Structure 1
């Protein structure tokens, strides 16, 4: 069989349940690798990172050959995968889940000439940096739509795990909704999973049974949007556009553009100008956006959400600006003050309006 270069443009190497995609970049100068917790077909977190990888590689025009491994559990297996990628000569390795942090820290010590970037973590070293998107800005914008759309004044969240990042998103969603409808209450059900369509669906149905008519999720599959479509209520895409899974239910999507981080980091690594840092990109940098407004979102709802996006972009709005009260009624943020990044990193409480006990 005569295979030309075009035929070999993309090849898949399958290792058990782990798939590595190797684009054709025979003249590429550097190698970069990405590790995903779930499948790239989840239409959520891993999918959004994969879109970022593809866009970053394309923008760098042959400067990099990139690979990815999906379905890597947050166990000792992650350390093995990370070490193998370092041994393969990757100059930069991106670990896209919080649970990879300790493994990346350990392997980084063994490969001082490789750059390791860890998503949503906090540990840093000379060759270990961290990065994240301000997902709470997306949640706040979705809340502005939800507060206008709800008929029951009850909105809901299908949540994954009670880590600060997820709790921040619940609080921001609530505050965004209350900014246009002070009567809004938020109900939360913890699915205790990042990606399990069955559990996500069950949680969504339970929220709907409790009269929540606009749902947000901090999980990765489109199951919440599908459940909302079936039950005649509304939901949002999270991390990416999920409108095809529930065209009538889908109000908008909080979309993450990871290429806004990946492209400059990869460029710096290639130029040997990279230095460890904690990257936090949001609406201002184009890494977070509200997109894909659905037919059930009125022009007035869209206009208010876009106005909030513009204010976030300009820096004239911070979602956590006081006065803000905790669930128990105590003052969290005084009028005119805003929570800092350090404050937000310690989020372990609900704001006023979120119902139910905070998980232990």
Structure 2
């Protein structure tokens, strides 16, 4: 996502104060060091209805839409953009973070007006290229660096994570839940914390055992991590990667599982609870429209569930009706602005009180979170 390393946390605080799991530079999911362009070059000279040229738009993906998760959801957003605005975007898949990304962004900037980078690890590369092409608009998923021609965008997935945890908390039979975490960065940490708070809201005795895969998409490694948790006795398994490996491992043990990013029901329909989903389409449409009409300004966008950028997938067929009703009621409270996930009292896993009764956690503190809440088993690597 996509997401950064712990050494950049302080910078995040400054970024959110000034305006606002991205992928890490350690991504293992890229399947090629030679990116492949999968869409035709856009018809740059095709006029729009108002006789203005349609902007030339490009998307850069860390993986492929076939991952069934993160990249798939971004690609669905691209398809919505194309359908609504009549734009044929250029897509470049399997772009590793680092030097390759900077090369790809440079090449695209010579041919396009708008470029979307959908992995956190693209941040520095995109920022560097943005300085060289001030007339091109760059939009970066989950990062924190901005420029006059570069914005960031993300959704508050901790809101949906709380609901997923609520469902898991109602369905666990032994109060032991497992979580296969990706990288130890704030986005992953605050999502796991929100999930845990949701589970504990129905049963404070629940524990969430966390193991780190240090991957975004590596089904073999993620499956191994999942099995290690199942061997410890967890009866529900959640994960933060782009693959359904953990969900499938849980199903093979006749345990309930939770996916990530996109509706993963199809991978284990008899053992599926739900998961966080992103809906990027409306953001992509609105962003491009604002560029076309001249109202676009650089920003750090962190969209809410009410805005539709995050939500949960439909609950699985074997989730009891009372659980579905409870989750929907809490979801409505979030939509109505009546419930804040990170509202005190909140204690960390060492028993230290982080938030007093009724105190809300500030955005900059969420975005720089490096600690686990009470009830999580496992550590945040330093």
TM norm structure 2 = 0.87
Q: Does 1:80 find its partner at 2:103? A: yes
The residue aligned with 1:32 is 57
CA distance in structure 2 between the partners assigned to 1:282 and 1:339 by the alignment: 16
Deviation at 1:65, TM superposition (A): 2.4
The residue aligned with 1:184 is 206
Q: 5+ residue gaps in structure 2?
A: 1-31, 49-53
The residue aligned with 1:126 is 148
CA distance in structure 2 between the partners assigned to 1:301 and 1:275 by the alignment: 42
The residue aligned with 1:327 is 349
* Alignment deviations for residues 104-158 of structure 1 (CA, whole Å, 9 cap, x no partner): 1100010001111111111111001111011111211100000000011011111
Q: Is the 1:156–1:216 Cα contact (8 Å) retained in structure 2?
A: yes
Deviation at 1:23, TM superposition (A): 8.3
Kindly indicate which of the two structures has a greater share of residues assigned to strand: 1
Between 1:78-87 and 1:235-244, the stretch displaced more is 235-244
Q: Is the 1:290–1:309 Cα contact (8 Å) retained in structure 2?
A: no
Query: Residue 93 of structure 1: SS of its match in structure 2?
Result: strand
1:214-253 alignment runs, 5 A limit: 214-253=236-275
Q: Count matched residues.
A: 344
Q: RMSD between aligned alpha carbons?
A: 1.6
CA distance in structure 1 between the partners assigned to 2:284 and 2:318 by the alignment: 34
Q: Is the 1:324–1:351 Cα contact (8 Å) retained in structure 2?
A: yes
**Structure having greater relative contact order (Cα 8 Å, sep ≥ 6):** 2
CA distance in structure 1 between the partners assigned to 2:304 and 2:178 by the alignment: 24
Q: 1:144 to 1:107 in 2, by over 3 A?
A: same
Q: Is the 1:168–1:347 Cα contact (8 Å) retained in structure 2?
A: yes
Counterpart of 1:159 (choices 163, 181, 191) is 181
Q: Is the 2:223–2:249 Cα contact (8 Å) retained in structure 1?
A: yes
* Alignment deviations for residues 287-334 of structure 1 (CA, whole Å, 9 cap, x no partner): 111122112211111111111111111111111111000111011111
The residue aligned with 1:56 is 81
Deviating beyond 2 angstroms after TM superposition, the runs of 4 or more aligned structure 1 residues are 14-17, 22-28
CA distance in structure 2 between the partners assigned to 1:46 and 1:275 by the alignment: 26
1:1-360 alignment runs, 5 A limit: 16-22=34-40, 26-27=46-47, 29-60=54-85, 62=86, 64-88=87-111, 90-360=112-382
